[in-house]
Amino acid sequence: MSLTERQIRIGKNLGIRPISHGQVYTYQIAVAESEKQSISIERLQLIEDSLIQHKSNLMPLIVRRTEAYSEEEEYEVIYGADWCLVAKELDIEKLWVWVYDMTDEQASAAKEEMQQLLVNSVDENDISALIDQKLKPIYSKLNQVTSTLSSNTEKSNFDHKFTKIENQLQHLVSIVEAISVRIDELFPPPRKLNLVTAKEKEIDSALEKAGIYFKQRTAVLEAIKYWQNSGKILTWQNLKTSST
Q: Is 231 helix (H, G, I), strand (E, B) or coil?
A: coil
CA 19 → CA 2, 97, 139, 146, 206, distances in Å? 20, 11, 33, 39, 109
pLDDT tens digits, one per residue of 36-52: 877 788 888 989 999 99
If asked whether residues 101 and 7 sit together in one domain, one would say yes
pLDDT tens digits, one per residue of 184-211: 555 555 666 676 677 778 877 877 777 7
Does residue 147 lie in a domain region?
A: no
Does residue 172 lie in a domain region?
A: no
What's the CA gap between 167 and 170, in Å, rounded?
5
Higher-pLDDT residue of 86 and 206 is 86
Q: Average the pLDDT over 212-233 and give the result.
A: 73
Domain containing residue 19: 3-121
CA-nearest of 104, 97, 110, 119 to 28 is: 97
Give the Cβ contact number of residue 223 at 10 Å: 19
If asked whether residues 116 and 211 sit together in one domain, one would say no
Question: Strands 94-100 and 75-79, how do they pair?
Answer: unpaired
Which of 121, 151, 185 represents a domain boundary (last residue)?
Answer: 121
Which of 98, 121, 144 represents a domain boundary (last residue)?
Answer: 121
Does residue 213 lie in a domain region?
A: yes
Question: Strands 20-25 and 94-100, how do they pair?
Answer: antiparallel
Contacts of 128 (CB under 8 A, 6+ apart): 46, 50
Does residue 148 lie in a domain region?
A: no
> How many structural domains comprise the chain?
2
CA-nearest of 146, 124, 127 to 135 is: 127
Higher-pLDDT residue of 122 and 151 is 151
Q: Are 60 and 21 in contact (CB under 8 A)?
A: yes
176 alpha-carbon distance from chain centroid: 37
What's the CA gap between 29 and 118, in Å, rounded?
23
Which of 105, 121, 137 represents a domain boundary (last residue)?
Answer: 121
